[in-house]
Amino acid sequence: MANKQTSWGNVAEWYGELVEKEGTYQKEVVLPNLMRVVAPKHGDTILDLACGSGFFSRAFAEAGAHVIGVDVAKNLIAIAQKGKPANIDYHVSPATELGFIKDASIDKVVIVLAIQNIENAQNVFQEVARVLKPKGSVHIVMNHPAFRVPKRSSWGWDEELKEQYRRIDGYMSESTVKIQMHPGDKPDEVTLSFHRPLQVYFKFLRKAGLLVRGIEEWISHKSSEPGPRAAAENKIRKEIPIFLYLEGVKQ
């Protein structure tokens, strides 16, 4: 079972409301891009791993797919179950233990903003490969591991050049970092983030028999309020991606 510190279950209500709000990265950046690359349709069976409160599962279901949503946090699944359409089935389970799903029965697997919170990512990809049909695909969205390194990356301001920049103090070394679940409140409620350089994910996918077929880098949709640094901030947002998308295909 997953370490309880990696679960968002104890902030389920807050997180469930957060992803539904206008202006969030999930709604404004991840969702439209994900719908484009996954292209859910009638006849698809899609596994939404670490589905949380079902935000993306519902979007896939509305497009006509049959969706299986899985999350280790029973509180999040309880929220997802409320008013769910008939073409979604939810399960409480770690992403590494999918015995209730038959071999080679899934067309597409989606893992959104979760793989960096799962300790045993290699086993996740092994399970993904098992349940995928031949030529089935896995779609992974993560915080960009090259630019959003927990506790080792930050924004900086060059006063002489009047430019904002991204400072990276470490990348190649893997690390486990405690992240406050609810920024600004309840400092004792934390989850664990597992930083891995990009090559580690490629190795995990290869070992599972999954070939990387697609890669994209997604930027922020936000704009700064008018001010002396607004132009520089808006410029750098278009240069430094915040999310990395990988598509793997089962051989």
Strands 106-112 and 132-143: parallel
DSSP state for residue 101 in the 8-state scheme: S
What's the rounded Cα separation, in Å, for the pair 85 and 209? 33
Provide the residue type at 76 as one letter. L
Check whether 10 has a pLDDT greater than 70.
Answer: no
Q: What is the pLDDT of residues 194-251, one digit of tens each?
A: 999 999 999 999 999 999 999 999 999 999 999 999 999 999 999 999 999 999 999 8
| Model pLDDT, residue 188 | 64
Burial of 122 (0-12, 13-18, 19+ CB in 10 A): middle
Q: Going edge to edge, which strands form the sheet with 243-250?
A: 88-92, 66-71, 45-49, 106-112, 132-143, 243-250, 210-218
Q: What is the mean pLDDT of the chain?
A: 91
Q: What is the pLDDT of residues 154-204, one digit of tens each?
A: 999 999 999 999 999 999 999 999 887 655 566 666 788 999 999 999 999
What's the rounded Cα separation, in Å, for the pair 197 and 210? 18
Domains assigned to the chain: 4-144+196-226+241-250 (3.40.50.150)
CB 129 within 8 A of CB 68: no
Ramachandran sector of residue 156 (left: φ over 0; alpha: ψ -120 to 50; beta: rest): beta
Token reading at 85? 């359409």
3-state secondary structure of 195: strand
Check whether 96 has a pLDDT greater than 50.
Answer: yes
Residues in the chain: 251
Q: pTM of the predicted model, to two decimals?
A: 0.90
Residue showing tokens 């290869």 = 206
| Model pLDDT, residue 19 | 55
Beta strands in the chain (DSSP E): 45-49, 66-71, 88-92, 106-112, 132-143, 153-158, 163-168, 175-180, 190-195, 210-218, 243-250
Arithmetic mean of pLDDT, 97-112: 98
